[in-house]
Every structure is written in structure tokens, then in C-alpha cells.
Structure 1
Amino acid sequence: MSTRKPLRIGYIPEHFSTPLHFASTHHNLSATLIPEPLGTGALTTRLKLPIEDDKAFDVAIGLTEGFVADLGRSKAGGKDAGFGLVGTYVESPLCWAISTGAERDEIKSVQDLKGGKVGVSRIGSGSYVMSYVLADSQGWLEQGQAPFGIEVIGDFAALRKSVRKEKDAKSTDFFMWEHFTTKHFWDNGSIKRIGEIYTPWPSWMIAARDPGDDERLDELFTKLDEGVKHYGKNREEAVQYISTDMHYSKEDAGEWMKTVRFAAETKGVDVKVVEETVKVLRKAGVLDGKAGDGADMIAIERKP
């Protein structure tokens, strides 16, 4: 029996965390689950903290683009990245909604964003990376530079305030966040949706600071796979959890569940997926040609 402490797992406290919750509550996952509302950029920061730091994570479950962007920049800088990709969590793409303040009459469509200012949670976060992907999709990139200013705002609540130009809040023209997390605030009229963009890659992965920690990681993969199975077989329980603990409506929870596909086997990462992600991020100017290849970022490769 191992005497090592339970894994400290960082996760984003949104509806995607439901199978992780089930792994803990129904399948005895031996881990401390720690919410990180600032997103993937904050997850990677905490993965790289000294292990003795109380805020450090052993494992993080976050957005593919945020992990790959951070790993690519670390490889480009010639430094140890501090973590590696070990697993696949969500195989379906993520729908990023593009939102602005409800009273911003001057912004009616994505075309009105060129030359404006985008709010992001952190440099290197998914919201930051996807702003470049959006610019690339619109043909706006020039030498890797996005055609709008980047303003670091913080969490989701702060981003909403920024587009509403609330007093004592930094001002931005738009921000990007997951569709169903944002929908409640379109429905209540505080912000408005002006577009969307999907990730061209599977949306969530698992990263670890010590990929050689076989005993604890193997338990994580086993229990997380059981959590995914529980989620698939107990849809009503999942809707109840999402609509109470996560504060989504039951209707939105049900609609989201039609769009998401969790990995049946979470251990390992497909090198082709990461290589394609790197290609897109290079084209968008998020990574340069010195960034490491996909194989350099993967600590546990998914077997065919």
C-alpha cells in the first residue's frame, strides 16, 4: 500500500468536471480536488510551482489549447516545461462563445471586433489562445499579431464586468468563454452573444508534473474512467448535479450533454491530435517555429 499523499488535482469548476466529481463521490478516487476558476493558464502556473507550495498541483484537467501553448513556449525557450500531457478527458471540440455588453450597440457582429480590445483571463489561457485562432479564421493576422488589444482581466465574472464597462472595472470590447457557461448571462440580458468558434481539436486533456508517478496516475485513470461510465449511465443524476452545484438550468444542462463526448479511456494522448493543435497555433501566431513538436509534449502516448 502506498504511503504517498493523495494527488492534488486542479480543475475548472464548470459542468465538464462532472465525471471527475463522480469519480470522487462514487468510485473512491483518492485525490484532493481543487477548483481553479481562472482557467487553464492558472492551472499550468500551479503545475509548475515548487511541489512543497500549498498552491501547487500534481495533476490538472484543462483545455487542450492552453496546455499545448504553454508547453510549446517552454520548449521554444529551451527550459523544462515542468509538466507533460498524460491523458485525454474530452474528445469533442469546445464551442467558444463571443460576447460583449448588452448595451454595446456599436458591436453587432464579429466583424465589428477588428481594432477593438479582447478580455482574457490570463496570458496563455484558452481565452487568450482562442482570440488568435479567431483572428486567423477571419484573415486578420499580420505577422502573427492579433488585430486587437489584449487586456488581462481575470475570472469569468470580471470578464463580464469588463464588457459592460462597470465602474472600477477594466474595459474591453469582447471576451470568449464556453457557450453554455455564458448562456445564462445572455438569457438575463447582461451581455449579448455576437458569434462563436469551435476548437479544431479535442477540447480537454490531463497534464501531470510527474508522469512517472505510475501508481497514483494509474489509479486516477481507472477511477476517472469509472466516473465517465457513471456519467453516461446516470444522465438524470448528472443533470441534477450540473443544475444545482453548477447553477445551470436543467434545460441547458441537458442540451450541453448532447454536445459533449468524454473519453472512455482517459489514459494517454494521441500524438497526431497534439501535432495538429501545434500546427494551428503556429499558424495563428500563438507559437513560433521553434516550439516543440507534439511528441515532445506528450508524457504518456495513447496506444492504438
Structure 2
Amino acid sequence: MASSSSSSPLRVGFVPEHFSTPIHFARKHYGLDAELIPFPSGTGHMITALRSGEIDVGIGLTEGWVAGLGKVENQGSEEGDGGDDGGYRLVGTYVETPLCWAVSTGAGRPEIQSLDSLKGGKVGVSRIGSGSYVMSYVLADQRNWLLPTAGAAGASESTGAPFSDFVALDTFERLRRAVNDGTADFFMWEHFTSKRYYDNGEIRKVGEIYTPWSSWKIVASTRLLPQQQRSAKNGSVDERVEDLLDRLNKGIKHFNENHDEAVGYISTELDYSEEDAREWLKTVRFPEATQGVDLEVVKTTVDVLKKSGVLKLSGGMKPEEMIAKRR
């Protein structure tokens, strides 16, 4: 386990999209001393990197983090074990607002005209277990495409096969290509990241859904958490993680007070127009304090993921065990 007195910079995984702007401000203006490692393929890839020891902290999608831990059946007993214990815990909240997932298909796919026409189709996802994978099941649940079967003690558990295949394609670029060449029929990605490609005619929007939870969380490797506090209500974490959270708070405050600077960064350094960046600003809300996670948010996420068939009704890590630092 990494010592709390260690002076080596944290390796922080993040998604290089517009949501990462406060992270950029934290490093540019407030001395964030961390190695920022981009993961364009998203949360599922960061889970793999956390468990293999490639990164120490991840900033990604709530549903991806919760699904990853919800599939862990047995927690490891040895300190620093990143396998059976799930490899990470929730320590902070990065975005308070839900995420709008746009559902996209290829520009030349006239047979796909509505969400209902996607039932039984091939879903493009970044990785199995990623947010794009999880949300396809949430979509299926909302459209009543899941088949109920008997679960534990006769309870109804949503399972079945609402889609014919999941095609793991890693990057947003490969997902866009796949729905045009027929490798996949549709994929789900954040609305404003997708919008530019609607505007240029590369892909076409079929619909959208929102997450029923606040959309981004911060996790830390269990290597940074004392064994006895990995499931504590307000467990201590490595002092470098505390410093990261404090500097993210300052980056968020700067973001809120300097929207023109944020738009300039998003529209020049990232793949968004100035108009889209300003529209996105109207839809997003970051927390004043990133420290801690609401237990009820995690419970809601687990409940929806169980209903959607992503998680089993019984077994797996409990919501209380997923959080190392509660609000």
C-alpha cells in the first residue's frame, strides 16, 4: 500500500472532454501536482488501469464505477490487494448534474428511425462494463425490452438479451465509424461530444436518455486506503488524494467564475465549437466541495443497475462498502 507520507505525484486518470476543464484549471492556476493521464475510451478502461496499478485515482462516470464494484463477490483480505477487493473505492463527487446520453446511428442507416427500431440490434460500446455499455441496459429497461426471470427468493430479476451483440470498439472515433460501416447499429455517448458529428452529417441522432443519478465520481485505488477503512463512513485517504480534492475545488470555483476562459479552452483545445461549449455551460453543475459521495446516490444507481440486469439481484458489494469517504 502507498504510504500517506509518499511525495510521488498521483497518477490521475480522466476523460479528455469538456467536463475535464476544472481539472485543467486546477493544474494551470492552483498547483495541482499530479500526472494527468487521458483515457478517451472512458471509465471501463480506467477500472482496468486502477486494478492493474497503472493509475492511482480516476475521475469518471458514476454508473461505470458502481457497476465495476457491484460485480465484486469477495473482498480481498490482504492490504493493498487490488483484485478481490475491487481495486478502488468512491471518495469524491465531481459533477452534480445528470448526464445526457445521446443515442446515435450512421448517417446512411434509413432502416433506423426510432429508439424502438434498435431492439435486437448490435450495440457499439467503448468497453464491456463501461458507461456506454451500462446505459444501453438502462435504455433497454426504459423501453421494456428486458425479459424478467425468477431471481433470489422468487424476486423478479431483469435479464434476457435485448440486443444481438455488444461490439467493443474502444474509442469514440471507432464507434462513429462502426455505425456507418454496419459493424454496429447504434452507440450511446454524451450529447455535446456527439453534437459536432450530427452537425457535420457523419452520424445521426436517434434519441437520448438521462442518467437517474449525478453523473461523475472520483475514485481512489484501494492501495491508497488503509485496509480497515476501505468501507468506512468517513475513512481517511492518502494525503495526496485530499490535496487533489482541495485543488479540484479551486479549479471548479475558477471555472464557475471564468466562463469565457472555460469556453476558450474547450473550443480551442478540445473538440467542441464555441456555441456548443456555451450551451453545455448552461446544463452542468459541479459541486462546491468534491469531498465525499452521497450514499443515496450510490443506492439509486445500484437499484437501477439491478433492475436493468447489469448487476445481479443478490451478492456483490453493497453500496455502503463502495464508499471510502461519505458526504
Instruction: Tell me the SS of whatever aligns to 1:259.
Output: coil
Greater alpha carbon shift after TM alignment, 137-146 vs 1-10? 1-10
Q: Does 1:233 align with 2:257?
A: yes
Partner amino acid for 1:274? V
For the residues of structure 1 that align with 2:302 and 2:74, how far apart are their CA atoms?
A: 12
Question: What's the counterpart of residue 90 of structure 1?
Answer: 95
Partner amino acid for 2:290? T
Question: What's the counterpart of residue 68 of structure 2?
Answer: 70
Question: What's the counterpart of residue 193 of structure 1?
Answer: 205
Question: What's the counterpart of residue 174 of structure 1?
Answer: 186
For the residues of structure 2 that align with 1:171 and 1:108, how far apart are their CA atoms?
A: 18
For the residues of structure 2 that align with 1:13 and 1:199, how far apart are their CA atoms?
A: 20
Question: What's the counterpart of residue 57 of structure 1?
Answer: 55
Q: Contact (CA 8 Å) 2:74, 2:85: kept in 1 or not?
A: no
Q: Contact (CA 8 Å) 1:211, 1:300: kept in 2 or not?
A: no
Instruction: Tell me the SS of whatever aligns to 1:164.
Output: helix
For the residues of structure 1 that align with 2:267 and 2:324, how far apart are their CA atoms?
A: 35
After superposing on structure 2, the runs of 4+ consecutive aligned residues of structure 1 that deviate more than 3 Å are 75-78
Greater alpha carbon shift after TM alignment, 78-87 vs 282-291? 78-87
Cα displacement (A) at 1:77: 8.0
Which sections of structure 2, spanning at least 5 residues, go unmatched? 77-83, 149-158, 227-236
TM-score normalised by structure 1 residue count: 0.94
Question: What's the counterpart of residue 285 of structure 2?
Answer: 261
Question: What's the counterpart of residue 117 of structure 2?
Answer: 112
Greater alpha carbon shift after TM alignment, 108-117 vs 74-83? 74-83
Question: What's the counterpart of residue 324 of structure 2?
Answer: 299
Cα displacement (A) at 1:2: 5.1
Partner amino acid for 2:225? P
Give the number of aligned pairs: 293
Cα displacement (A) at 1:75: 3.5
Q: 1:146 to 1:199 in 2, by over 3 A?
A: farther
For the residues of structure 2 that align with 1:75 and 1:39, how far apart are their CA atoms?
A: 24
Q: Deviations over 1:146-193 (max 9, x none)?
A: 41121111110000000000xxxx701000000000000000001000
Partner amino acid for 2:177? K
- Percent identity of the aligned residues? 57
Cα displacement (A) at 1:3: 4.9
Q: Does 1:272 align with 2:288?
A: no
Q: Contact (CA 8 Å) 1:239, 1:250: kept in 2 or not?
A: yes
Cα displacement (A) at 1:7: 0.5
Q: Contact (CA 8 Å) 1:73, 1:287: kept in 2 or not?
A: yes
Which sections of structure 1, spanning at least 5 residues, go unmatched? 51-55
For the residues of structure 2 that align with 1:74 and 1:145, how far apart are their CA atoms?
A: 21
TM-score normalised by structure 2 residue count: 0.87
For the residues of structure 2 that align with 1:77 and 1:135, how far apart are their CA atoms?
A: 31
Question: What's the counterpart of residue 124 of structure 1?
Answer: 129
